[in-house]
Amino acid sequence: MLTVRHLSKAYLDNTILSDISFSLGNGKKAALVGPNGVGKTTLLRILAGQESSDHGSIEVSHNCRIGYLPQEIAIADVGMTVEEYLRTVTDIGPLEQKLQTLAEHLTDSEQAKVYAELEEEYRRKGGYDSVYRMEKILRGLGIESAAIDRKIRTLSGGQKTKVALAGVLLKGGDLLLLDEPTNNLDLVAVIWLERFIQDTKAACLIVSH
């Protein structure tokens, strides 16, 4: 799934990572634990492709889908509701729009073929039960179901963080990189997240103190 060999990273004369090597197999879960400043976030940013390393190599399985939750989350203050945001980040919304457009041209054999392929992708991504899944994950993270209709801009910073985490969990992937995902979660939500991580088939690399 993931193999890291001799990874190094420095900022000017400050070495953050030095000769880091490890591997993470399919479905395996691992934690990066340590005090602030030891390079946990930097490592996840490199693995997620958000930052480059100075030396070393990273190998991931072919077609590996990576889900990344950064420590500092910035959801754009736009007019979207929570549901609209989650549909956008999980690709459900854009797929629905494409399907609606193609539905008007199903008499064309080529268009019908494209429609069938997109519908299969929509089904595979959980489009038909997306609202149920959204509400289930939001409840697990401590956000009431009614919040699905609220505008993102009306949420507190902690609620926005939970919504961003919900988006990563909903979208899924083969490898989840979660940087301190328990921030802003109460004990009940932490326990729910632990169970989610245990049950998911994705490999997980989780940063914590």
Give the predicted TM-score (pTM) of the model.
0.84
pLDDT tens digits, 21-71: 999 999 999 999 988 888 999 999 999 999 999 999 999 988 888 999 998
> Tokens 């088939």, residue?
201
Separation CA 64–CA 76 (nearest Å): 27
pLDDT tens digits, 157-187: 888 889 999 999 998 889 999 999 998 899 9
Stated as kind and residue range, the H or E segment containing 8 is strand 2-11
Strand 175-179 to strand 66-69: parallel, antiparallel, or no bridges (unpaired)? parallel
Which segment of 16-20, 23-27, 128-132 scores lowest on mean pLDDT?
Answer: 128-132
Average pLDDT across the chain, whole number: 88
pLDDT beyond 90 at 72: no
DSSP 179: E
Which segment of 9-18, 45-54, 112-121 scores lowest on mean pLDDT?
Answer: 112-121
Say if CB 82 and CB 148 are below 8 A apart: yes
Please state at what angle helix 187-199 crosses helix 130-140, rounded to 10 degrees: 130
* Closest among 43, 45, 52, 51 to 20, alpha carbons compared: 43
What secondary structure does DSSP assign to 10-27, as a single string?
A: EETTEEEEEEEEEEE-TT
Say if CB 9 and CB 39 are below 8 A apart: yes
Cα angle at 166 between 165 and 171, to 5 degrees?
100
* Residue 48: per-residue pLDDT: 92
